[in-house]
Chains A and B, each alone.
Chain A
């Protein structure tokens, strides 16, 4: 069965620190990969996505993610976080002809000013 694992439940960083959130997936075929963010009181927003091509993808607000096929990973990175990055981050995968998303449990990021 398809699954997505996010290793960190809650990450606390100071402003300007670097961020890396882990995401591993289990799926036996070609996949599409996504990171969504949910800011407090707001709806899920797409941060970035990978369908094919360059495995390093850049998203909004300075985020990027690297797809490593051999490791079934799609980790999210940001070189310098800001207080406004405080949110919950969800990794998701879809595959095959079905477009439904399988989500990880999410990682809460708290950035201290």
Chain B
């Protein structure tokens, strides 16, 4: 099976611009999560989508948003870019069974999109 793919791999933007990142999950995986990785803060959870609905959200400002399509592909958007948004943005997918009191899915990560904000 093909792994998680992310496009583009690299992006350079300037402050104030907006950006859209794309993620295609592993075939058959229904959940897509996004993470931000920076040297200072490490890996931080942004949000998770399942069945085209945002099901869980991390502690990031509203400038960060996302969506999921019916084929489980997901996009992440960052508006009004700031210098501090420079990071590696990782997408992870999991099969995700719905419901249950304990989620036991395993997340598989893509290569990431490296965003540089100038």
Binding site for B on A (CB under 8 A): 30, 32, 34, 36, 42-46, 49, 51, 90, 92, 94-106
Contact = CB atoms under 8 A, between A and B. Distances in A.
Interface of B: 31, 33, 35, 42-45, 48, 55-56, 58, 90, 92, 94, 96, 99-112
Contact of A98 (B90, B103, B110): B103
Nearest to A36: B109
A101 B45 CA distance: 7
A100 B45 contact: yes
A99 to B, nearest CB: 4
A96 B101 contact: yes
A36 B102 CA distance: 20
A45 B90 CA distance: 12
B103 A99 contact: yes
A97 B101 contact: yes
A105 B42 contact: yes
A45 B92 CA distance: 11
